Amino acid sequence: MQKVWIYLENGIFLEANSFGATGTSVGEIVFNTSMTGYQEIISDPSYAGQFITFTMPEIGNVGVNSDDMESKSCHCKGVLVRNYHHEYSNFRAQGDLDSLLKEHNVLGICDIDTRYLTKIVRDEGAMMMIASTKIHDKDELKKLLEQSPRIEDINYIEEVTTSEPYIHKYGAWNHKEMAYNKAVMSDKKVVVIDFGVKRNILNELVESGLEVEVVPSNFKADDLIARFEASQIGGVFLSNGPGDPLTLTSEKEQVQKLINANIPMFAICLGHQMLSIAHGYDTYKLKFGQHGGNHPVANPETKVVEITAQNHNYNVPDNIVEIANITHMNLFDNTIEGVKYKNKEIFSVQHHPEASPGPHESKYIFSEFAKIVK
């Protein structure tokens, strides 16, 4: 291991040990409270541009494997962990986390007080930071950080979206077969707008009985509307993704066209926020976001509480009740977690019902979408 130096934009300067890639990287620091699933978190495209602080102190102990990747790459800037375990023990493991981070040029930072960092982010909010295995001078790191663009200034969607359309051919994980189910032919087809979609979202859409076609984020709404009117597709899904949704002006215009065409739509996370913005209700940034696998969410009508997985820094505004019915509320901070738009076959959730490795209490939402697909 070699040394790594960290500078936070609030002036805090720290030294720690490193694993994974070397070099210098700038991003936004957030914390994640999940107890398991570090590989799925690190490979989630929604973390592009961010450093992930894990509150779970032991990371790396179950290794990594190709089946648990949520995308083809790891898009986060780095991970900060209390204890990194290079030696792993798991019958599914194919390698160690250190090698995975090196392969995808992601900094690993360990032997650092993650509880201290979590409290800083909790009290002061998500902030920019810089980490380097090459530069140890505080003033130089500060200067580089001040000269770097902020996360809201960068369109990370362009980095994480697919370059070409494709058909997704797998369903949910089959524990007996220890493999993903193969997709079956369906007479219901949906198009997924890829803003940084997680593989397990696509798996659950397939598992709910849909044929799934994934298209890039620079899609043309007119093309999809023509296909819908010709009965070639029956609905559209807007995926999760990284960054500030208010910067996606061209994407907003295309989503507005889909809304006006009355196409059945379902959206998760960034897609949920995009629907709000396209309806004229701008999102706002939370103090430190919601990232983890243990967030209680309640249905105001049924009073049923689901434990959910979360990963977002932005939220839809409270006044969206003017045009939508609230279907889910976060019991940690009473923010809106799900809406169904009035007089439309359009609904969305902020949390992740596909949650892999869990919890799985919200998976039924994919079936709700399948019911309204033409």
Give the pLDDT confidence of 121-158 residue by residue, as tens digits: 999 999 999 999 999 999 999 999 999 999 999 999 99
**pLDDT the model gives residue 202:** 98
Residues making up the annotated binding site are 46, 241, 243, 270, 273, 311, 314
Task: Read off the pLDDT band of 276 (50, 70, 90).
Answer: very high
Q: How far apart are the first and last CA of the chain?
A: 55
pLDDT at 76 over 80: yes
**pLDDT the model gives residue 359:** 86
Largest CA distance in the chain: 62
**Catalytic pick among 40, 269, 291, 351:** 269
**pLDDT the model gives residue 137:** 98
Task: Read off the pLDDT band of 259 (50, 70, 90).
Answer: very high
**Catalytic pick among 28, 207, 251, 354:** 354
Residues 6+ away with beta carbon under 8 Å from 32: 41, 52, 53, 54, 55, 291, 292, 311
**pLDDT the model gives residue 304:** 93
d(CA 105, CA 95): 16
Residues making up the annotated binding site for L-glutamine are 46, 241, 243, 270, 273, 311, 314
**Catalytic pick among 168, 291, 351, 352:** 352
pLDDT in tens, 304-325: 999 999 999 999 999 999 999 9
Provide the 10 A C-beta neighbour count for residue 370.
Answer: 18
Task: Read off the pLDDT band of 300 (50, 70, 90).
Answer: very high
**pLDDT the model gives residue 220:** 98
Average pLDDT over the chain reads 97
pLDDT in tens, 189-244: 999 999 999 999 999 999 999 999 999 999 999 999 999 999 999 999 999 999 99
291 is catalytic: no
Cα–Cα distances (Å) from 285 to 125, 194, 244, 297, 335, in that order, read: 10, 22, 8, 19, 12
Task: Read off the pLDDT band of 185 (50, 70, 90).
Answer: confident
269 is catalytic: yes
